Structure 1
Amino acid sequence: MTSLSSSVCSSRAFRRLSRRSGRRHPLLVLSALALAALALPRPASAQATPASRIAVGGLALEQLDPAPAGDALFGVPSPSVGGHLMPRALLMFDYAHNPLQLHGDNPASVVSSQAFLRLDASLSLWERLLVSLDMPFAVLQAGDDPGTPGVAYHVPSSAAAGDLRLGVRGRLFGADHAPFQMALGAYLFVPTAPAGSYAGEGAFRGAPHVLVGGRLPLSAPLSIAWSATAGAVLRGSDNPHTLTFGAGAALVLGRDRLRIGPELYGAAPLSDRPMLSAPGAIVTSSAPVNAELLLGARVRLLGGLELGAAGGPGLSSAIGTPAFRLVALAGWSPAPSDEPAPQARPADRDGDGILDTADACPGTRGIASDDRARHGCPKADRDGDGVLDVADACPMTPGPSSLDLTKNGCPPDRDGDGIADVVDACPDLRGAPSAAPRQNGCPGDRDGDGVLDRVDACPSLAGESSPDRSRNGCPEDIDGDGLKPPEDACPREKGARDPDPTQSGCPKNLRIRDREIALRRPIRFVMYGRDRKDTVEPIPDEVLTEVRDVLEQHPEIKLVEVRGHADDAGDPAFNLRIAEERADAVRLWLVEAGVPKEKLVAKGYGDTDPIAPNRTQDDRQKNRRVQLFILQEE
């Protein structure tokens, strides 16, 4: 639905036009006519009114310019021409609802209904050129004057002729019904509509455009006809010039027995001049770009008779874009020939006498071969090692011949890792390719310290080789806490110096042993009554910080399970729920402390794994706990 507002300025109306294609010389003729028309005197757009009111009118609202008779779609033209001296004709009726509606203090539908009856004819020439004629008649127009102070809107109420359209297009390349065609075209609009009406613009207009399209075959008897166009409308009035666009496709059954599909078309102004105006007043749109969508179907009945219908909404609030449009047509065009299309000659691109359908190398001249994979390929030895490419397992790398067909023509590779011995830094050890020559073909060494990962006790930290397997490939101070073994009792976890040699260099609150991150300061839980869940006592930040630091110091730890436990007071289902809540609470605390959430999983074990007999309050308190266990390491 078009949304408009009024203000003081001067301009003329804006009208969108479709695009068509034509032949070179007629295009020049039409272009010359259009340019000459631009120099003609311009008629006034406003009707005579009292001096106290300003008249607004004279705008070609119709946004649908039908494709010439014989085209596949309703509003998007095709680059196809089809034949010589082939006439085609159609009668089209289209109805637009609310193409010009005013909003604001005085809302009204200035043009609430507009219907056109069109007579269209075309003639194809020399299978290259199509000339066409389209004459529209506005047979239904209705609306209301919003009563804006000082502004009189022309409200249509009677039938009127529209602007006569002359068209020409010339196909540049692509045969009729080919998958891709291209054409150039142009329209010339002659101002045959009454001055000041909504059926024409009162001035000559020219519309050059380019078209592409074609017919894409599917499984018989289906195909898809498609078209796209882009162009411009050059006006001899004060209305702004516009860019036009359109695209559509239709599913075709048989030889054009049925066509059904969507199409989109529209226009955009090339300047910010008002769309509809008279001296002293303008009407502007909330959206300058016209756009409409149609879904249509056509059926061929007998001989060349064709019937069709389409409908769809306007997609913008620009002047002239209706809330919805309905279209019906009856047309005639010569029935498609039932003769099969001529078959293309089998291709042989390289000219070696072997058709592309059987040529394994269709772009390179070759020789015949019983091997289908080499039939039509040249007899070559690209690496010059004396082993022909047809039998060379490494046709781009020279190597000796071998009875083993998988190694024939390949350089020696003793360890079989796919890296030739001449560039393999570890020719007797299977490895992987590497950009570093010293590592190419060698087993992994992520930290690049010369100690292979499979024997490196610290594969992510560069260190020195050592006969001590637990220290091989590790730096002297693994955890970076400033203490070195034997002074550091926990060489893989940061800690402070301590007078107790067994605690020096170790975290204060935890240890890693037997795949458990054991907390020396346990996480305690307090019961506030059987009918309330346990709550966790506040955990000092230093405990969470040490857990986070330990996980950062051990990137090989990929997954830790936070296990929640309960005592045996209450029923097992209640205890299991409480245990899960405890585990979830501790996991959340650790994530907030900086531990990546993907490294943690929480699980409740209820009262199934006590560490004390559950006979005293102290024992029960010990069983209400959370533990951290390492589930996955590299």
Structure 2
Amino acid sequence: MRRLALASPLLVAAALVAQASPAFGQATDAPLIPSLDTRAWDPPTDPDGGLYFEPAQSPDTADWNVALWTHYAYRPVTLKDPATGDIANKIIAHDVGGDLVFNIGFFERVAIGLDLPFAYYLEGDNPTAQTIATLGGDYEVPRSAVGDLKLNLKGTIIKPTNEELGGFALAIHERLGLPTGNQQAYLGEGAVKSTTRLLAEYRYLAVSAHAAAGVTLRASQEEYGCGLTTGDCETKFGHELPWGLALVFRPQALGLDASGHAAWFVEAFGHVPLSPQAPFTKAALSAVQIGGGARVAFLNDISFIAAVDAALVQGIGTPPIRAHLTLAWAPRKHDMDGDGVRDEVDECPEDLKEDQDGFEDEDGCPDWDNDDDGVPDGEDQCGEEREDEDGFKDDDGCPDPDNDEDGIPDLEDACPDEKGPSHPDPKRRGCPDQDSDHDEVFGDADLCPDVGEDPDGFQDEDGCPDPDNDGDG
């Protein structure tokens, strides 16, 4: 077995600078057999993605992120003995590599991303006469290499239909691979490759389901392991149908993450050939992988992903097991409830949005009754003035300083609900004139309201004068 030396960080840095040259990490006269990017997996560039799934929602304008994905893959590229089906040579037995990704959003509708794969440390078996013949020529796997640069473009067609709870969302995603990678490391196609997918998701509170399906088109078809084949090669890489499913859960719903910074995910993803091999006809050209992991954010902007995936159908380039560690940075103006008040000053940061009505908007909490009079602002005709709650039109939210509109303020009106003139006597001020003959017998008690009582001590309470008290004529 040949053990390739560990590449130095400076070498990797040089690789990143020199990645535009497909000759990096290989002799210029070395044969390129075959020209394939066999990884069968590319990371999402969105900071809210998982292993494979990419959310349908796009970031807001100028919201950007960078991430360093690292992985260890066991035995991703092998040659099998056609007679026994056993592994005859581990072309790449151990792969320590990763991806540098960048992403930026526009208007919550468009996202543009870059993904640069790299191999930091590769180890494999020495070439044998059989493997050289099978691959069609001598080869040498480099110690480290850079892969094809991927340009990612996402367009959100349907934004989440329920702003508060989540709802359905749909996007189209294009990944365009440019032929900048090292072909002998199985990281370079040597030609353009396009993968177009539809991304669908449905989110409800702490749970979201994701699905992706599309087509991968290769500008050049490549054979793998057919050097000894006399007939048609059955392992010819051409067009493919990629797919993926994911389920995401936030443990905050279980009370395990009060800050809401963690997410758990399980996924299944893979591809089947489209042409020249028909779908479901060649397992070596197919892949079915299952995986799971967790994403945890620290200090709001920095997050980590730890995940693992395993192959149920192990096509060429699909490792039986692969482990991932990711460090991401997504600087944001943090506003969990989307009310325009930053979380660090928002007194209600998670569940309650500020109502933005000009009243104490800086605290981030809704003020449903600005004047605190018990009448909600939506029904309050005088939102900034308290209702006086005196039993008169109290449901309109407006104070009524003169209920009977007689010009005498209720606080001074002895009869606030009945119109009446002013009067020197506070007990009669604002009351209707119930003693028109001024004999101090009021209302219905005055049987002669237009004639004054003769207050002589005889039947004075009836309000009628008694010109002949003894009735003797």
What displacement does 1:293 show? Answer: 1.1
**Residue in structure 2 matched with residue 136 of structure 1 by the alignment:** 117
**Residue in structure 1 matched with residue 129 of structure 2 by the alignment:** 147
**Residue in structure 1 matched with residue 189 of structure 2 by the alignment:** 201
CA 1:91/1:293 → structure 2, altered by over 3 Å: closer, same or farther?
same
Asked if residue 83 in structure 1 is aligned to residue 83 in structure 2, the reply is no
SS at match of 1:132: strand
Asked if residue 265 in structure 1 is aligned to residue 269 in structure 2, the reply is yes
- Is residue 78–residue 211 contact of structure 1 (8 Å, CA) maintained in 2? yes
Query: Quick one: distance in 2 between partners of 1:109 and 1:140?
Result: 15
Query: Quick one: distance in 2 between partners of 1:110 and 1:285?
Result: 20
**Residue in structure 1 matched with residue 243 of structure 2 by the alignment:** 245
Give matches, 1:343-362, under 5 Å: none
- Is residue 239–residue 276 contact of structure 2 (8 Å, CA) maintained in 1? no
- Percent of paired sites with the same residue: 25
Query: Quick one: distance in 1 between partners of 2:311 and 2:354?
Result: 44
SS at match of 2:166: coil
Query: Quick one: distance in 2 between partners of 1:179 and 1:300?
Result: 23
- Is residue 307–residue 324 contact of structure 2 (8 Å, CA) maintained in 1? yes
Query: Quick one: distance in 2 between partners of 1:245 and 1:57?
Result: 25
Deviation per CA, 1:501-558, whole angstroms, max 9, x where unpaired? xxxxxxxxxxxxxxxxxxxxxxxxxxxxxxxxxxxxxxxxxxxxxxxxxxxxxxxxxx
**Residue in structure 2 matched with residue 60 of structure 1 by the alignment:** 37
CA 1:327/1:207 → structure 2, altered by over 3 Å: closer, same or farther?
same
What displacement does 1:209 show? Answer: 1.2
Amino acid at match of 1:68: T
**Residue in structure 1 matched with residue 217 of structure 2 by the alignment:** 234
What runs of 5+ residues in structure 1 fail to find an aligned partner? 1-45, 218-222, 275-283, 345-634
- Is residue 285–residue 319 contact of structure 1 (8 Å, CA) maintained in 2? no
Amino acid at match of 1:156: V
- Is residue 246–residue 264 contact of structure 1 (8 Å, CA) maintained in 2? yes
What displacement does 1:140 show? Answer: 1.6
Deviation per CA, 1:575-625, whole angstroms, max 9, x where unpaired? xxxxxxxxxxxxxxxxxxxxxxxxxxxxxxxxxxxxxxxxxxxxxxxxxxx
Query: Quick one: distance in 2 between partners of 1:316 and 1:224?
Result: 28
**Residue in structure 2 matched with residue 298 of structure 1 by the alignment:** 295
CA 1:291/1:269 → structure 2, altered by over 3 Å: closer, same or farther?
same
CA 1:101/1:172 → structure 2, altered by over 3 Å: closer, same or farther?
same
Give matches, 1:91-170, under 5 Å: 91-104=68-81, 107-144=88-125, 145-148=127-130, 150-151=133-134, 152=137, 154-170=139-155
What displacement does 1:48 show? Answer: 6.3
Deviation per CA, 1:396-437, whole angstroms, max 9, x where unpaired? xxxxxxxxxxxxxxxxxxxxxxxxxxxxxxxxxxxxxxxxxx
Deviation per CA, 1:274-295, whole angstroms, max 9, x where unpaired? 9xxxxxxxxx965432111111
**Residue in structure 2 matched with residue 409 of structure 1 by the alignment:** none
What displacement does 1:128 show? Answer: 0.9
SS at match of 2:172: strand
Query: Quick one: distance in 2 between partners of 1:290 and 1:60?
Result: 14
Q: Root-mean-square deviation (CA), in Å?
A: 2.9
**Residue in structure 2 matched with residue 183 of structure 1 by the alignment:** 171
**1:224 alignment partner, one of 191, 198, 207:** 207
Amino acid at match of 1:252: R
What displacement does 1:85 show? Answer: 1.5
What displacement does 1:72 show? Answer: 3.1
What displacement does 1:301 show? Answer: 1.2
Query: Quick one: distance in 2 between partners of 1:188 and 1:157?
Result: 25
Amino acid at match of 1:172: I
Deviation per CA, 1:428-447, whole angstroms, max 9, x where unpaired? xxxxxxxxxxxxxxxxxxxx
- Is residue 142–residue 155 contact of structure 1 (8 Å, CA) maintained in 2? no
**Residue in structure 1 matched with residue 329 of structure 2 by the alignment:** 332
- Is residue 66–residue 103 contact of structure 2 (8 Å, CA) maintained in 1? yes
CA 1:292/1:154 → structure 2, altered by over 3 Å: closer, same or farther?
farther
Query: Quick one: distance in 2 between partners of 1:341 and 1:126?
Result: 24
Deviation per CA, 1:432-479, whole angstroms, max 9, x where unpaired? xxxxxxxxxxxxxxxxxxxxxxxxxxxxxxxxxxxxxxxxxxxxxxxx
- Is residue 99–residue 113 contact of structure 1 (8 Å, CA) maintained in 2? yes
CA 1:102/1:214 → structure 2, altered by over 3 Å: closer, same or farther?
same
What displacement does 1:153 show? Answer: 5.5
Query: Quick one: distance in 2 between partners of 1:55 and 1:170?
Result: 36
- Is residue 102–residue 110 contact of structure 1 (8 Å, CA) maintained in 2? yes
Query: Quick one: distance in 2 between partners of 1:186 and 1:111?
Result: 29
Query: Quick one: distance in 2 between partners of 1:226 and 1:244?
Result: 18
CA 1:84/1:310 → structure 2, altered by over 3 Å: closer, same or farther?
same
CA 1:133/1:231 → structure 2, altered by over 3 Å: closer, same or farther?
same
Amino acid at match of 1:316: V
SS at match of 2:38: coil
Amino acid at match of 2:336: D
Query: Quick one: distance in 2 between partners of 1:78 and 1:94?
Result: 22
Amino acid at match of 1:57: P
- Is residue 33–residue 183 contact of structure 2 (8 Å, CA) maintained in 1? no
Give matches, 1:277-296, under 5 Å: 286-296=283-293
Amino acid at match of 2:249: L
- Is residue 113–residue 152 contact of structure 2 (8 Å, CA) maintained in 1? yes
Amino acid at match of 2:141: P
**Residue in structure 1 matched with residue 314 of structure 2 by the alignment:** 317
Amino acid at match of 1:98: R
Deviation per CA, 1:253-309, whole angstroms, max 9, x where unpaired? 3464111121111111112459xxxxxxxxx96543211111111111112110111
Query: Quick one: distance in 2 between partners of 1:193 and 1:325?
Result: 21
What displacement does 1:119 show? Answer: 1.0
Amino acid at match of 1:244: P
Query: Quick one: distance in 1 between partners of 2:241 and 2:182?
Result: 25
Query: Quick one: distance in 2 between partners of 1:166 and 1:121?
Result: 10
Query: Quick one: distance in 2 between partners of 1:139 and 1:173?
Result: 39
**Residue in structure 2 matched with residue 523 of structure 1 by the alignment:** none
SS at match of 1:77: coil
**Structure 1 length normalisation: TM-score?**
0.41
CA 1:184/1:107 → structure 2, altered by over 3 Å: closer, same or farther?
same
What runs of 5+ residues in structure 2 fail to find an aligned partner? 1-26, 222-236, 253-258, 338-350, 356-473
CA 1:196/1:155 → structure 2, altered by over 3 Å: closer, same or farther?
closer
CA 1:341/1:166 → structure 2, altered by over 3 Å: closer, same or farther?
farther
Query: Quick one: distance in 2 between partners of 1:94 and 1:295?
Result: 14
Amino acid at match of 2:166: A
SS at match of 1:265: strand
What displacement does 1:124 show? Answer: 1.0
- Is residue 57–residue 197 contact of structure 1 (8 Å, CA) maintained in 2? no
**Structure 2 length normalisation: TM-score?**
0.55
CA 1:257/1:147 → structure 2, altered by over 3 Å: closer, same or farther?
same
CA 1:62/1:287 → structure 2, altered by over 3 Å: closer, same or farther?
closer
